[in-house]
Chains A and B, each alone.
Chain A
Amino acid sequence: MTVPANDLLSKAAVLEGLPDHPAVQAILGFNPEALTDARFDRGELTLSIAPEQIRFAAAAVKACGFNAFEDVTAVDWFPSSPRFQVSYHILSHKYKERIRLRVMLPAEDPAVETVTSVWPGANYYEREVFDLFGINFEGHPNLRRIMMPDDWTGHPLRKDYPVEGYR
């Protein structure tokens, strides 16, 4: 796989600069509509996926060699819209490369389909995001709080949750 020398900051640039990247190929192969944006920045490939397509996109990149799930986490871009960004980091043992899948979610009732059916290892990570950001993972086998007590109100890692003091 050739690594481009420069950063590629748009979908068109990535499609031109990394045409034979297996993950790009895999997602375009199953549904070109699912890939909403792409970036190659600081040596990392980020593929933005339409929220309703995330499980299919996950299955597609897994099938093409990105076998090892590493991480799911979220970023709260409050007060801009769409508010939540969910980032999935996937490693390929075969290509020795990592990609990031990204999903943007609205502020009201953020929800996305779980990827635990593709990578069972996402279980605790999705629970952590649910606990600390309040993002709902539909179809998750056991979506409960994991860090905070079960009767806690609020989601501490949201930007409108204070760092210290009373809520």
Chain B
Amino acid sequence: MTETAGTPILEAPQAVGAHDQHMVLNMGPQHPSMHGVLRLVVEIDGEIVVRLYPEIGYLHTGIEKTCEAKFYQQVVPLTDRIDYLSPMANNLCYCLAVERLLGLEIPEKAKWIRVLLAELTRLNSHLIWLGTHAMDIGALTVFLYCFREREDILRIFEAVAGQRMMTSYFRIGGLSMEPPLDFFDRVQAFINIFPEKIDEYSNLLTGNPIFRNRLMGVGVISADDAVALGVTGPNMRGSGVDFDLRRDMPYSGYEKFQFKVPVSTAGDCWARYEVRMAEMRESVQIIQQALDGMPEGAIKADAPKIVLPDREKMKTQMEALIHHFKIVTEGFAVPAGEVYQAIESPRGQMGYYVVSDGTAKPYRVHMRNPSFATLQAIETMAKGRMISDLVAVVGSIDIVLGEIDR
């Protein structure tokens, strides 16, 4: 704790008289409620938050710069590392962007498996959010239950991609390999039991008076403010803005699925809780439709100069061996142009801006991550409330510092 005067962190100095009573409190970067390495410089009057200033960049690793030195297909594993709780969403967004640059058409089955896994990723991410959010409020049990179900999802990811968290399963032109034989049965078994589990979390939290009082009326943001500050996804829909890219600007075959977009109008932490809980149930519906209508066919586009050949073909066909060698050693050229591809990630609208100059390496890759914009709204949400409410707000907006700092 230091005096405000002489602290260059806060934006504009206030009147001197008011200053003397205020104190600057430093929350984070090492703090259990900060969800990573977020540092909040909070100016407080007693226990009331007067101003608030997020300091970020502790996890900045220059992923955008690294992308410029890699071949297009080598960027896919980097996208996992941006948001470690929803790797498939990042993979999907990047692959869609490059496929649009290439003008590549993806087989139907690959699209459907992508949708299925993107929705499982949403469940995975929302489970972490629910567990940590409830734990911040003081309900530790839910955290353990959420991690129990998350483990099931991670096992499914491991079965399909060989990795639990850094999956890199989506590739430019389709998927890296066929899912294992019992894959769809395992997903079916999981979503058969999962709705009951959502009821279980809901029974623990929705009627809990402490949880209700800590969230209701806390961290309010209006619909206009949310849109103006770039807040997207469940946080925006919690303020009553009815917009979801999956429904309104569909990508990767989402137009073939029927689902509701949950909206709540209160704009407080409770509304965001309700929206995300309802979203989990809708994701289960989408996964069920994907399982029921899963088309037959290939999982990779028919583009031998872009998609790596099967292992078996490489051992028998000269062309496949040559294509494999060329793709691995010199990549594939992508026509010059620029593309901005946006998807609805678990945290909001994620966008990948990929610029090509016609070579095998991206000229520029920029990630528009939802948490980065959401963080701008935190002052609006927490101003004038107690410090303990700030913890509830940080938990309710579901930020991941990896994707803020990149």
Contact = CB atoms under 8 A, between A and B. Distances in A.
Contact of B351 (A89, A132, A156): A89
Contacts of A157: 64-65
Contacts of A161: 65
Given A120-B228, A120-B229, A71 B340 contact: yes
Nearest to B54: A124
B388 interface: no
A138 interface: no
Contacts of B211: none
A121 B60 contact: no
B363 A75 contact: yes
Contact of A73 (B101, B103, B366): B366
A6 interface: no
B291 interface: no
A52 interface: no
Given A89-B368, A124-B375, A44 B340 contact: yes
A59 interface: no
B342 interface: yes
Most buried by A among B228, B249, B351, B363: B228
Given A71-B366, A163-B66, A163-B69, A121 B229 contact: yes
B405 interface: yes
B11 A147 contact: no
Interface stretch (A16-24, A28-36, A62-70): A62-70
Secondary structure of the B contact surface, majority rule: mixed
B65 A163 contact: yes
A71 B364 contact: no
Interface string B51-79: 00000110010101110110000000000
Interface in A62-87: 67-71, 73, 75-76, 87
Given A41-B337, A157-B64, A141 B11 contact: yes
B264 to A, nearest CB: 17
Nearest to B250: A96
A11 interface: no
Most buried by B among A87, A93, A100, A124: A124
Contacts of A91: 342, 349
Contact of A71 (B103, B338, B351): B351
20 contacts: A41-B337, A43-B100, A44-B338, A68-B243, A69-B228, A70-B230, A71-B351, A73-B353, A73-B368, A75-B363, A120-B229, A121-B231, A121-B373, A125-B230, A145-B57, A146-B56, A147-B57, A156-B65, A157-B64, A157-B65
